[in-house]
Structure 1
Amino acid sequence: MPVLHSVIHKIDKKPDGSPAVLFLGGAEQVESQARDDLMYQFNESYNATAGKGWGFFHQESGAHPLSGWLDKYLAGGSDFLTFSTIAVEHLTKLMEESNLTTGGHALFCHYLQGMTDYLVIALVQETEAVTMTEELSLMAVKRLDLDHIRLAARINLSEWKGNPKSRQYISYIKGKQGRKINEYFRDFIGCQEGIDAPGETRTLLKAFSDFVESEDLSEESAREKTHTLVSYSMVQAKLGEPITLDELSELIDEDQPKAFANFIKAADYGLSETLPPDKKTLNKFRRFTGRAEGLSISFEQHLLGSKIEFDEAGGTLILRGLPTQLTEQLKRAKA
């Protein structure tokens, strides 16, 4: 993960209502193992943080100027330090106008991951830690709290420039610190919501369930494909990368690598070619299976409460929306 440019400024904003004080970094962070470790740890924490939103830039305007400054930097019209300085001054102004008390270290970092350019902007807090001196005495020190990132956004610069119609090249932490704080930071980025990650993930899982049903797969095959889907999606979530339908389709069925992707396109589920995985939704998606005395049952967890109802006291399942093929067989048997 080569770091191309990195700058850290500091906004000191106290809860007593006094004006924010901006301390500008006078230069970019020098190349060092500490700088690279910082970004590695930040990405690990950011990728693991639940509750992200996905979107794209508003049209550049006086209210949303960041994309214009960023575009100028990428075109070579300004250096990274200048870009970050203008941006953090704007962030400080918005913080004052919103009367918010959340200061912190403003991190700006342009880096490569594979062949993709990313820009990270985050407001990182300080926390206290304890270290050991050479004399084996304990000493309290301050460190950047990368374990609890509350305000951050990551912009896929390659996607932004290479796919103008994309609505998901910005990800940002929604967090639980309050709607007002979230909105002021999103306004600073100039980001509007474009993709509903939980909704997209639920649609993908619904499409997969329909696909499994249409293929009339064996219990073992359905379980293996479910495991493949969830494992791949979780890995993408951990890496901070989107699910690619063609790639997923190849993993699900190596003999017919386009089968699942073609099924989704033919049924018109409205899914994009790539979509952000939602870990909470994926965690709820697992398959229940059971077999006894000629009876074989297999279904996804998300069907409980909708198509399937479990009566724990009676030890029974109530099924709704039976497959047409099964319904016809039952009708013929009853006749």
Structure 2
Amino acid sequence: MELHRAVVHVLDKQRLADGTSPPATIRLRAADLPAGEQLNALVARLRTLYNSKTGRGYGIFSPDQVGYPLSSFMVGYAQAGWDFIAFTHNAMQLLKQRIDQAALATGGYIFFAHYTEGGEDFMLIASLKNRPGLVFNELLELANQQHIDLDQLHEMARVNLSGWTSGAERYLSFAKRRSSNDDFTRYFREFIGCDEFTQSKALTRGLLEALALYNERPEVTAESRSRHRQIVFEYCEEKRATGERISIRALSGRLSDDAPEAFLDFVNQQADLAVADDFEPDASVYRTLRRISGGDKGIRVSFDADLINKRVIYDRENNALIMRDLPPSLVRLMEDL
């Protein structure tokens, strides 16, 4: 990762004892944060924490740049004359407007970072808060001291700037709680101006892509790959039948009794995959996980359903199966006849 620029501002919004909330105030920093190991460590920690959240939403910027102007502030980010600090100041004014409409929400430190990773540019925007903590002071006595809370992350967005400018299908993601109507975080999503990508077909496809990568690990045997595919298929069928939604954590537990969070941890480490949580599975996608098996006393065949019309062709007219790219072990057996 190469960190280009970063800055932090303060958004202060109080809730009074009578339940009312006066307008928020903002305090703006005039220049970039100085580069250094601590700043790099902060951005790295935020990326790690963000990637560990399965509760993420995905989408694109709203085309309504009048009602949701944040994206218009970012236009020209790659040009020499683009002003990073001016962008963040404009963003803070917009965020103040949004949080003033959210009675229960409070502010914090609003952190902006522009960095490059894997050859692509990203913009990270996160709301951070302090929490009390204990330290030993110079007298070796316990003392209270505020720390940035890096264990909780409810308000953060990440824009793949390269994907945005190249017309990618999805380039925007944000931290998401189970309740999309949560007043604490709704204002932040409206500040970003995200049209959330909720098509179950694409989200189910993302799950299957993650499973395929998970199965490609060298320690996964052919038998385990087949079992994983069957478990995911049965889990999706169950959720579709009951009208429930996919939980990556619950699915991970089914994939392994010995390591119930192994798949969850793997998914969280795949920053480039849009693997969402809390969505309805699409049967036309996940049913490709099935195995087609059958036969009689003289012959028996078995293959994954997604190989149909690829390596396995069904010739309906001649009642025949054509199999291509046969496994070398099977080829050797045929040649030895």
Q: Into which bin does the TM-score normalised by the smaller protein fall?
A: 0.5 to 0.7
Could you say which structure has the higher helix fraction? 1
Contact 2:52 2:265 in 1 (8 A): no
Contact 1:7 1:108 in 2 (8 A): yes
CA shift, 1:77, in A, is 4.3
Structure 1: unaligned runs, 5 residues or longer: 209-218, 243-275, 282-301, 304-320
Is the alpha carbon distance of 1:26 and 1:198 closer, same or farther for their aligned partners in structure 2, counting shifts above 3 Å?
same
Q: Which amino acid aligns with 1:200?
A: R
Instruction: Please give the root-mean-square deviation of Cα atoms over the aligned residues, in Å.
Output: 3.7
What is the alpha-carbon distance in structure 2 between the residues aligned to residue 29 and residue 132 of structure 1?
28
1:194 aligned to 2:197?
yes
Is the alpha carbon distance of 1:115 and 1:28 closer, same or farther for their aligned partners in structure 2, counting shifts above 3 Å?
same
2:3 is aligned to 3
Structure 2: unaligned runs, 5 residues or longer: 214-219, 233-254, 256-261, 280-285, 301-337
* SS across alignment from 1:112: strand
What is the alpha-carbon distance in structure 1 between the residues aligned to residue 3 and residue 175 of structure 2?
22
* SS across alignment from 1:26: coil
Is the alpha carbon distance of 1:7 and 1:220 closer, same or farther for their aligned partners in structure 2, counting shifts above 3 Å?
closer
CA shift, 1:20, in A, is 0.8
What is the alpha-carbon distance in structure 1 between the residues aligned to residue 43 and residue 37 of structure 2?
10
Deviation digits for residues 297-333 of structure 1 (CA, Å, limit 9, x no counterpart): xxxxx99xxxxxxxxxxxxxxxxx994524x569x9x
What is the alpha-carbon distance in structure 2 between the residues aligned to residue 97 and residue 188 of structure 1?
11
Deviation digits for residues 64-105 of structure 1 (CA, Å, limit 9, x no counterpart): 111111013433443111100100111011111233432111
Contact 1:167 1:194 in 2 (8 A): no
Alignment of structure 1 residues 140-179 onto 2, 5 Å: 140-162=144-166, 164=167, 166-176=168-178, 178-179=181-182
1:20 is aligned to 24
1:240 aligned to 2:243?
no
Contact 1:237 1:279 in 2 (8 A): no
TM-score by length of 1: 0.64
Contact 1:56 1:170 in 2 (8 A): yes
1:96 aligned to 2:96?
no
Q: Which amino acid aligns with 2:34?
A: V
1:255 is aligned to none
What is the alpha-carbon distance in structure 1 between the residues aligned to residue 96 and residue 157 of structure 2?
16
What is the alpha-carbon distance in structure 1 between the residues aligned to residue 291 and residue 156 of structure 2?
45
Is the alpha carbon distance of 1:323 and 1:235 closer, same or farther for their aligned partners in structure 2, counting shifts above 3 Å?
closer
2:249 is aligned to none
Q: Which amino acid aligns with 2:7?
A: V
What is the alpha-carbon distance in structure 2 between the residues aligned to residue 189 and residue 65 of structure 1?
8
What is the alpha-carbon distance in structure 1 between the residues aligned to residue 161 and residue 264 of structure 2?
22
Contact 1:9 1:24 in 2 (8 A): yes
2:306 is aligned to none
What is the alpha-carbon distance in structure 2 between the residues aligned to residue 146 and residue 126 of structure 1?
9
1:223 aligned to 2:224?
yes
Deviation digits for residues 278-313 of structure 1 (CA, Å, limit 9, x no counterpart): 4799xxxxxxxxxxxxxxxxxxxx99xxxxxxxxxx
Identity %: 26
Is the alpha carbon distance of 1:62 and 1:205 closer, same or farther for their aligned partners in structure 2, counting shifts above 3 Å?
closer
What is the alpha-carbon distance in structure 2 between the residues aligned to residue 70 and residue 200 of structure 1?
30
What is the alpha-carbon distance in structure 1 between the residues aligned to residue 7 and residue 82 of structure 2?
14
Q: Which amino acid aligns with 1:110?
A: H
Contact 1:58 1:191 in 2 (8 A): yes
Matched residues, number:
251
TM-score by length of 2: 0.64
What is the alpha-carbon distance in structure 1 between the residues aligned to residue 45 and residue 210 of structure 2?
31
Contact 2:128 2:149 in 1 (8 A): yes
Contact 1:28 1:81 in 2 (8 A): yes
* SS across alignment from 1:9: strand
1:29 aligned to 2:33?
yes
1:266 is aligned to none
CA shift, 1:233, in A, is 8.8
